[in-house]
């Protein structure tokens, strides 16, 4: 597993602290980040692949600085958003996966690799379908396929099941938790969080609890009720 | 399949135009677009439209898809033609109407027979020599690809915003246009963030 190290990393914007200086070392395979809306969960996740730059401290992924070596970090760390619509930028499913593979494979190999990825995610029959014609679950699955096609070491999923129905929530959740990659899962789904190896509870821009899944989830539920 | 779903979407096939190399097809579209502007008169406009229709037949685009695409475009073309009629006369209006429909047909034919990723590869090949002047070929090609994709995405936002305004009982154009523009800008920002996250453009 990759070693993700927060060294006093924090983010302030407009005089407001989004995430206070944070010290963390993440080595576990499945890490959940839970907490209320606006607590700083997404900011913490976005710091890991350089989507958000720390205003203090630094974040390192296997020793690579997410600011100075951002491109290298992003090759190792894939990111999946809550709303897949913004993430899908090509007209059809196979073309969107091909876009991810542009820098990895020569042109002649891309189409076959993209089709194989779609097959893996149960989207083979949707290859030439418009991304706008997909259901919400299929879109999220395609967004994940686009991320995983380049075989990152770490996958960050920022509330990937929030817009999905129960069946798709389970399907995407099971898929994420079965990945061989290291997973950082930002979620409001406490059942999913409880299946992770480590859970961070974020509140008011700080990691308030950090520990085993059951204890952390219980602590969070207790703090809310 | 709705019109929205078929916009700019490549359909694999074995027609002559499917098998034709991407470069000549792109250049053909550019040349045809220039010719449409340069060659004047309603007769030439009719001939261009017939030529566009012939290419759509060669590409084996289902008639229903063509009609749906033209129906959506027709609203815009009629508005432009009305303006032309008012400012330059009937002959010019007819010419504008037919030229716009021809351009729509040619665009539909190109997107139906050519994958956007293949177009990107072709653009990259064409632009790569400009690298010595600081032009990032991948980035330029990606911008073109995004422009092609942005049409259905923007239409989706327009329809969603219109429905949201109707649901709230709002009928004024401002109640529709203001949130629409804001959503388009926000979506562009989100797309930029997503591309950044995927390492595309790094």
Mean pLDDT, each 10-residue run in order, chain A (225 residues): 94 92 95 93 94 95 94 91 85 90 86 93 90 88 91 93 86 92 94 94 94 91 83
B137 and B104 fall within a common domain? no
For residue A204, give the 3-state DSSP assignment. coil
Number of domains in chain B: 2
- Domain housing B148: 133-197
Domain positions in chain A are 4-224
Shortest CB distance from B196 goes to which of A51, A132, A146? A51
Rounded Cα–Cα distance for residues A188 and A224 (Å)? 13
B96 and B137 fall within a common domain? no
B99 and B141 fall within a common domain? no
Q: Is the pTM of this model over 0.90?
A: no
- Which stretch of DSSP H or E encloses residue A134? none
* Token code pair at residue B102: 């021809």
pLDDT at B190: 85
C-beta neighbour count of B33 within 10 angstroms: 15
pLDDT at B202: 67
* Token code pair at residue A21: 């200086």
Look at residues B58, B79, B114 and tell me which one is the last residue of a structural domain: B114
Number of H helices, E strands in chain A: 8, 10
CATH superfamily, with its number, for domain A4-224: P-loop containing nucleotide triphosphate hydrolases (3.40.50.300)
List residues of A whose CB lies inside 8 A of any B CB.
Answer: 49, 51, 70-71, 74-75, 78-79, 81, 83, 85-87, 89-92, 95, 98-100, 102-103, 107, 110, 128-130, 132-133, 146-147, 150
B202 domain-assigned:
no
pLDDT at B64: 86
B8 and B106 fall within a common domain? yes
Q: What are phi and psi of A8, to 5 degrees?
A: 65, 25
B88 domain-assigned:
yes
Look at residues B79, B114, B149 and tell me which one is the last residue of a structural domain: B114
Give yes or no for residue B1 having a pLDDT over 70. Answer: no
A57 to A38, A66, A77, A94, B17: CA distances (angstroms): 21, 11, 20, 40, 56
A47: chain B residues, CB-CB within 8 Å: none
B53 and B26 fall within a common domain? yes
B184 domain-assigned:
yes
B155 and B95 fall within a common domain? no
Lowest mean pLDDT among A180-194, B88-102, B140-154: B140-154
Q: What is the mean pLDDT of residues B53-71?
A: 89
B122 domain-assigned:
no
pLDDT at B18: 94
pLDDT band at B201 (very low <50, low <70, confident <90, very high): low
pLDDT at A29: 95
User: Are A160 and A82 within 8 A, CB to CB?
Assistant: yes
More confident residue, A187 or B4: A187
pLDDT at A113: 94
> Sign of dihedral through CA atoms B141, B12, A106, A62?
positive
- Residues 6+ away with beta carbon under 8 Å from B149: A89, A90, A91, B8, B116
List the alpha helices (DSSP H) in chain B: 3-6, 16-19, 22-38, 42-58, 63-88, 90-113, 116-127, 137-167, 173-197
pLDDT at A9: 95
Look at residues B58, B86, B114 and tell me which one is the last residue of a structural domain: B114
Whether ipTM > 0.95 holds is no
pLDDT at A158: 92
B88 and B137 fall within a common domain? no
Rounded Cα–Cα distance for residues A181 and A3 (Å)? 12
Mutate to test the interface with A, among B197, B200, B201 (most CBs of A within 10 A): B197
CA angle A147, A151, A154 (to 5 degrees): 75
User: Are B9 and A130 within 8 A, CB to CB?
Assistant: yes
Lowest mean pLDDT among B4-8, B30-34, B53-57, B159-163: B4-8
pLDDT at A28: 95
């Amino acid at each position: 597993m990759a070693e993700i190290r927060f060294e006093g990393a924090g983010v302030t914007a407009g005089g407001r602290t989004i995430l206070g200086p944070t010290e963390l070392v993440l080595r576990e395979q499945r890490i959940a980040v839970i907490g209320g809306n606006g607590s700083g969960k997404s900011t913490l996740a976005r710091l890991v692949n350089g989507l958000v730059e720390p205003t203090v401290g630094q974040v390192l992924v296997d020793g690579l600085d997410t600011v100075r070596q951002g491109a290298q970090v992003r090759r190792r760390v894939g990111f999946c958003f809550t709303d897949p619509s913004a993430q899908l930028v090509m007209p059809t499913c196979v073309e969107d996966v091909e876009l991810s593979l542009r820098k990895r494979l020569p042109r002649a190999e891309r189409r076959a690799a993209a089709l194989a990825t779609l097959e893996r995610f149960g989207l083979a029959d949707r290859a030439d379908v418009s991304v706008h014609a997909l259901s919400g679950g299929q879109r999220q699955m395609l967004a994940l396929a686009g991320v995983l096609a380049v075989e990152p070491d770490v996958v960050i999923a920022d509330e990937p099941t929030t817009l999905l129905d129960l069946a798709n929530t389970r399907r995407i959740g099971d898929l994420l938790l079965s990945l061989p990659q290291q997973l950082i899962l930002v979620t409001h789904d406490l059942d999913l969080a409880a299946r992770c190896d480590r859970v961070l509870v974020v509140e008011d821009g700080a990691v308030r609890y950090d520990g085993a899944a059951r204890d952390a989830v219980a602590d969070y539920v207790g703090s809310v009720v | 399949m709705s019109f929205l779903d078929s916009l700019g979407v490549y359909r694999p096939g074995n027609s002559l135009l499917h098998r034709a190399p991407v470069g000549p097809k792109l250049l053909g579209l550019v040349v045809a677009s220039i010719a449409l502007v340069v060659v004047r008169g309603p007769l030439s406009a009719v001939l261009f439209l017939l030529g566009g229709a012939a290419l759509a037949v060669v590409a084996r685009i289902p008639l229903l898809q063509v009609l749906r695409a033209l129906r959506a475009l027709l609203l815009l073309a009629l508005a432009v033609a009305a303006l032309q009629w008012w400012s330059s006369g009937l002959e010019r209006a007819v010419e504008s109407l037919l030229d716009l429909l021809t351009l729509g047909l040619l665009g539909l034919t190109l997107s139906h027979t050519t994958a956007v990723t293949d177009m990107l590869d072709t653009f990259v090949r064409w632009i790569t020599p400009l690298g010595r002047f600081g032009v990032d070929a991948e980035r330029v090609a990606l911008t073109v690809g995004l422009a092609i994709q942005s049409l259905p995405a923007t239409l989706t936002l327009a329809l969603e915003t219109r429905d949201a305004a109707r649901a709230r009982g709002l009928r004024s154009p401002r109640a529709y246009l203001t949130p629409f523009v804001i959503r388009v800008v926000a979506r562009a920002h989100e797309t930029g963030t997503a591309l950044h996250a995927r390492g595309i453009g790094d």
